[in-house]
Amino acid sequence: MKHSRIIITALCCAAITGSAASSAFILQPQSVVSAQDTTEMAHDPSRNIQEEGVGNPFNYGERNTPENASTQEIRAINHKMSVQEVKYSLFKEVDEHWDLIKVRFGETEREKVYALFLGLASRESTLGGNGDGSDLETAQGDGFGVSSAHAYGPMQTAVTAFLGCDPTFMKEDDVPEMFQYTLSESTFYDCIISNHMGIRKLMHFVRSAIVDYNLEGYQVVRASLKAFNTGWANYTGEDDGYYKNYPDEIIAMAHWYYDNGHLYDNVFTWTNDERCASYRNDPWGWWKDVNPSLDPITEAPPVNKPLKGDVDVNGSVTTADFTKLISYMFNLTELTDEQAENADMDDSGIINIIDVIKLKQKLLEN
């Protein structure tokens, strides 16, 4: 440990002097993963999923990519994700907000909710089954954030979900239980943030279905799925073919994942897949006994995300933060947990010379 501290000290000197290097659509899969895929679940099979969730076996953080990476770099990282990794990236966000989701959906069985999000992401992206990972973008032709249909990620979360989008778009700011990211290319194109904001968007439409349209039971969830794509959580009658093509198709695919044991592997389905035919006959039958609610939850309200580089936690990133980090690296001072989290610029779990360089770069960019 002392040896690594000496090496770090020498590198810190170099850093100080500046000498260190410094919209819904139908997807038809190009290649189908066999239903006999034997990929093992990534999480510990002894876990009590209902009580504990899957436990984030791929160690996803609050984002999937470095905050200061370029859009091209961010998308390249997302592009490499397997179907299984995309699945677990969705489960990670479900688990983090489980107390909220189970009350709003009225469904207390966690694996059913996992399945629902797999159905939604299959309808929107086939879970990366086309070889795209989580890197799928639509309606971007007019430029970044210009179209309200501009969407990205496994669930195709639209820019409308984000704080600071075009003010003419309908606001989705009534989910105080979940943090709302500000729209930027860095947040919009990150897979984990996209998943988080997609769930938040659904929670917004659950509220709308209950408050604005007095819906109850499974129709609340059905309407929130419809609204995820259309922007309106109203009930439009059973003869409306749109239900068949979107929310009813989503829940049928969800049932297929759940019923056939494909929650945790690399197997995926897609819109109009014949394997799901039997689940379309009564798509909501397995979800009808639910009671969605706007009851308060016991989950603590969200807190602002760490401001990377704000080592002295005063709300801004200045040279004083660089000085404090260098002092820590020279073993002259200690950091609190909050200070250490902000000092860990690359979210590696270790504070080292890389963080010093990244903080210096951030100061130069400002």
Read out DSSP for 196-251? Answer: HHHHHHHHHHHHHHHHTT---THHHHHHHHHHHHHS------TT-HHHHHTHHHHH
Strand, coil or helix: what is 123? helix
- Kindly state the greatest CA–CA separation across the chain: 73
Q: What number of other Cβ atoms are within 10 A of residue 324's Cβ?
A: 22
Determine the pLDDT at residue 68. 84
Determine the pLDDT at residue 316. 79
Strand, coil or helix: what is 158? strand
Is residue 152 within a helix (H) or strand (E), and if so which, with residue range? strand 151-152
The letter for the amino acid at 47 is R
- Among all chains, which residue has been given the structure tokens 């179209």? 147
pLDDT tens track, the chain, 366 positions: 222 333 344 444 444 434 333 344 444 444 444 445 668 899 999 999 999 999 999 999 999 998 889 999 999 999 999 999 999 999 999 999 999 999 999 999 999 999 999 999 999 999 999 999 999 999 999 999 999 999 999 999 999 999 999 999 999 999 999 999 999 999 999 999 999 999 999 999 999 999 999 999 999 999 999 999 999 999 998 888 899 999 999 999 999 999 999 999 999 999 999 999 999 999 999 999 999 999 998 755 555 567 899 998 877 788 999 999 999 999 888 988 889 989 999 888 899 999 999 999 888 876
Q: How far apart are CA 330 and CA 6, in angstroms?
A: 9
- 298 with 102: CB under 8 angstroms? no
Q: Is the C-alpha dihedral spanning 116, 119, 124, 129 positive or negative?
A: positive
Angle at 163 between CA 64 and CA 360, to 5 degrees: 50
Determine the pLDDT at residue 314. 77
Determine the pLDDT at residue 12. 45
Q: How far apart are CA 129 and CA 84, in angstroms?
A: 10
Q: How far apart are CA 249 and CA 3, in angstroms?
A: 59
Cross-strand partners of 182: 163
Determine the pLDDT at residue 24. 45
